Amino acid sequence: MKAVVKTKRAKGLSFVKMPDPVIGPREVLIKVNIASICGTDVHIYDWTRWAQHRLSPPRILGHEFVGTVAEVGEEVAVVKVGDCVSAESHLTCGHCYQCNNGNAEVCRNFKLLGVDHDGTFAEFFVLPEHVLWKNGSDIPLEWATIQEPFGNAVDTVMVEDVAAKTVLILGAGPIGLFAAGIARACGASLVIVSDPNDYRLAISKKMGAHAAVNPRKEDVVGLVMEATKNRGVDVVLEFSGNNQALNQGLKVITPGGRISILGIYERRVNIDLNKDVIFKKVRIYGITGRKIFSTWYKTSRFLSTGMVNPCPVITHRFPLKDYEKGMKLMKDGKCGKVILAVSS
């Protein structure tokens, strides 16, 4: 089979022939229909510091997908050949303290699909049955493939109620853009998106943002304070992984407000913990992955009912062999979500 593979410890990827995978008794062979590119894949392509310390080649990339069950192991009990599936990318152990206490997304022994386990940028791949999600016919295939990152946005927005609250979103990558639509669907009274990319700011308006701010051209703090009548925002959602953006968010958050952080930082961050957090009684949530599987149910309902339409975020489509075009668009910031057609 053909696959996109990190073959060596250097920048770049290869589109090569790989052996067909073999399933175990509790595993499922999946024929990939559509996959999508994530920022994690770009990190691995560029062989960033994070990737160098996290991944050991060779590895097939990818963790966002929709596919069809092609074969099941003899102990598989729920899914069957022909089912349309996606999957949780955190391959959990199911028996550690975190898994047994409702926090499987931070499983001590988890393996990340496309990083520790061969991923979805291939014609076929194998997963254990317990991480699979059966898709209904009421969600289009392209929407089904973005459920994993959409779920990141769901958890970041909904860790606390946002109804009738003012929200600042820092970072308009695909997850931040999904978050704008989710916040509006959940009843936020004001949604402001901040990002230095005008292309993505335009998408944020299509996703329901009331205002879009470019921090390279405008005073984010001043504009947010004006829009909130000098009260500050109730909620900050941090997707950028940028220290300056984080500090802007902490400055404009109202005392007693909350900030949810999904962005990943390349270096240690510098914040005034006393002034901007402790004495303001700000609640900070670190978000990783999704709640397994409660967030998947929420995601499915948002999409199947039309509460959130992700179409403005899905901007480009390529066959798998043209993955380089998608990677370039991602790095240049000239896209939303990039879809890769793997098989029909």
Distance CA 97, CA 101 (A): 6
Query: Going by C-beta distance under 8 Å and a sequence separation of 6 or more, which residues neighbour residue 253?
Result: 168, 232, 233, 234, 235, 236, 259, 276, 280, 282
Quick one: the chain helix, strand, coil %, rounded to 5? 30, 25, 40
Q: Identify residue 98 by its one-letter amino acid code.
A: Q
Euclidean distance between CA atoms 204 and 184, whole angstroms = 11
Of the candidates 43, 63, 90, 117, the residue annotated as catalytic is 43
Residues 6+ apart with CB under 8 A from 262: 152, 156, 175, 237, 238, 239, 287, 288
CB 188 within 8 A of CB 161: no
Residue with tokens 């994993």: 148
Tell the residue number behind the tokens 């991923």, with chain if given: 119
CB 166 within 8 A of CB 234: yes
- Token pair, residue 276, equals 């901007």
Q: Copy the structure tokens of residue 81.
A: 């050949």
3-state DSSP assignment of residue 5: strand
What gap in Å lies between CA 101 and CA 98, rounded to an integer?
A: 5
Q: How far apart are CA 49 and CA 44, in angstroms?
A: 9
Is position 43 annotated as part of the catalytic site?
A: yes
Length of the chain: 344
CB 336 within 8 A of CB 311: no
- Would you name the residues annotated as active-site residues? 40, 43
